[in-house]
Amino acid sequence: MLLKSCNELVSQWPLLRTITRALVNDYAIPTLLALLLLLLWFSGESAGRREQNQRAVLWAITAVVVVNALIKLLNLVYYRPRPFANSSLQLLFYRPSDSSFPSNAVAVAFSMATCVWLHNRRVALIMYTMGFLLGLARLCSGVHFPSDIVGGVLVGAVPAYVIIRKAGVMELAWTAVIRRMRLLLLA
């Protein structure tokens, strides 16, 4: 079983355990992802490139809202106990009480990365890597099953991709938001 093997490996090696605990927490990677979005908002070699990055940030924020609403709906319909609840795994994290499926943190990370991918692939690769490491850490720490991580990837990435590709009317709104932010010297 992948979950048990990963958990045992991390539990046996103090350095791996420390790294996993640093990655699995609710603040490290999500904060880094948010800081990357902030950095992306103000970066760009040209005005056009900066506006492209700003659109990516606005789409990422929109996707996070949509994905969180989708997760709330899924959790109302389906509750899955956490892996540590029914096994002998060594828990390397606090005991979350919400549904294990899908991984909320992974879904949020992949929704952000997918929105950024469509506008800035270099930054998106960093974000996808961070999302992957977050999922791996949550798996190894006994917080999620492998299918929870895969579910988080799909619940995060697919809606993000769909809303960007199908919500063209939002592009007009983003143009207005970016123009307004420029007037306020925030873009």
Number of domains in the chain: 1
pLDDT at 185 over 80: no
Q: Encode pLDDT of 41-56 as tens digits.
A: 999 999 999 999 999 9
pLDDT at 85 over 90: no
Angle in degrees, 0-180, between the axes of helices 121-140 and 104-117, rounded to the nearest 10: 170
**Domain range spanning residue 88?**
2-183
Q: Which of 102, 185, 94 is nearest to 150 (CA)?
A: 102
Residue 166 carries which side chain, given as an amino acid letter? K
The CATH number of the domain holding residue 125 is 1.20.144
pLDDT at 87: 76
Task: Name the average pLDDT for the chain.
Answer: 92
- Residue 115's SS3 state is helix
4 — pLDDT class (breaks 50, 70, 90): confident
pLDDT > 70: percent of the chain: 99
Q: Encode pLDDT of 120-169 as tens digits.
A: 999 999 999 999 999 999 999 999 999 999 999 999 999 999 988 887 77
- Answering whether pTM is above 0.75, one says yes
66 — pLDDT class (breaks 50, 70, 90): very high
